Amino acid sequence: MAQEVLFHVSPSFADAFSCKAGECRHSCCKGWEIDIDEVSLSRYRQLSGAWRERMNAAICEDETGAHFILTAEDACPFLRQDGLCDLILAFGEDALCDICALHPRFYELIGPFELAGLGLSCEAVCELLLSGEGELLFSCEETGETFSLSVLLSRLGFLPEDASLSFAPARDLAAMLTRLEGTEAIDALWPLELARIRRDLAAHPVSLSVSPRYDRIFSYLLYRVLEEIPRWGLAVVQAYARDAVSFIALQDALYGKEAETLRRWSEQIEYSTENIPYLLSCLKSQNASGFLP
Ligand code: SF4
């Protein structure tokens, strides 16, 4: 029987989120499959007149369900040139199917906790996370408390009370890049980007530093994968977040553009069903051989 949710937790910055809509340079209405849930599908099929024809032409149904047929530019058929959504403009936000209404939010259940957050493949979320200062805090809806990730981890039983976590850069950046090179590429650019970083790192050796800013990113990336701790162990999941922040910090040192490197890393790793377990399994075997970097 599923455990009752007693505590709803979310990062304190989440309330300030708002979609950049037409200002967004990496719209989530492009480059992703858009599945349509059954309730929305039945609503869409009930439209009349010109909208009925347009909607029917925009939907395909196959054995996996209904989807919007993407345009030649890989975009949602209702995405306008100005970045706005024709469905919202015509019928309001309630017209969105579940996946569009939910994105970029995520929810994870661990014991009596529901952990909510906003995915970093959205540039507005990256900017929001990086615009904050100081320790990243989380809020509990029921108790009104705010607390650090370490406190949350100890309440989840993953960390002893009074212990704390902070970012320490990967010691071997070349090995960290090797792990990323083994991931499934989301597009043809990813291997080229990695090759460029490897080349530039060899030409300009970088020594990463610690900073409260990297601690914030580290806390959030770790928060996103807390459900992996029972399977892989805290040391391995922590090493995964440490690798990710090191990768972002490395690119920041080489090229700047921290928010965009964070968004790009998230799109490649966090939104792939294969890449997170792949990286965790690499780190797990290194941990088993006593070589967790
Ligand atoms: S990626 Fe984020 S900011 Fe851009 S359109 Fe999607 S939800 Fe809005």
Statement: residue 118 has pLDDT above 80: yes
* H or E segment and range at residue 66: strand 65-68
What are 11's strand-pairing partners?
A: 138
Ligand 1 centre distance from Cα of residue 27 (Å)? 5
pLDDT tens-digit readout, 59-117: 999 999 999 999 999 999 999 999 999 999 999 999 999 999 999 999 999 999 999 99
Q: How much is the pTM?
A: 0.91
Q: Are 284 and 184 in contact (CB under 8 A)?
A: no
Identify the pLDDT of residue 4: 86
Ligand 1 centre distance from Cα of residue 150 (Å)? 30
* H or E segment and range at residue 279: helix 275-288
Nearest protein CA to atom 7 of ligand 1, as residue? 19
Statement: residue 1 has pLDDT above 90: no
Q: Does 19 contact ligand 1 (Cβ within 6 A)?
A: yes
What average pLDDT is seen over the chain?
A: 93
Question: Which among 19, 23, 127 is the best mutation to test ligand 1's pocket, defined by most ligand atoms within 8 Å of the CB?
Answer: 19
Whole-angstrom distance, CA of residue 272 vs CA of residue 262: 15
Identify the pLDDT of residue 293: 56
Q: Among 170, 129, 166, 169, which residue's Cα sits nearest to residue 150?
A: 166
Q: Does 124 contact ligand 1 (Cβ within 6 A)?
A: yes
Q: Does 118 contact ligand 1 (Cβ within 6 A)?
A: no
Q: Among 89, 151, 103, 113, which residue's Cα sits nearest to residue 227?
A: 113
Q: Does 169 contact ligand 1 (Cβ within 6 A)?
A: no
Ligand 1 centre distance from Cα of residue 22 (Å)? 9
Whole-angstrom distance, CA of residue 125 vs CA of residue 200: 28
Q: Does 20 contact ligand 1 (Cβ within 6 A)?
A: yes
Q: Does 104 contact ligand 1 (Cβ within 6 A)?
A: yes
Statement: residue 58 has pLDDT above 60: yes
Q: Does 28 contact ligand 1 (Cβ within 6 A)?
A: yes
Ligand 1 centre distance from Cα of residue 103 (Å)? 8
- The 3-state DSSP class for residue 14 equals helix
Domain assignments of the chain as residue spans, ordered by start: 7-13+105-155, 29-102, 173-288
pLDDT tens-digit readout, 133-182: 999 999 999 999 999 999 999 999 999 888 888 899 998 999 999 999 99
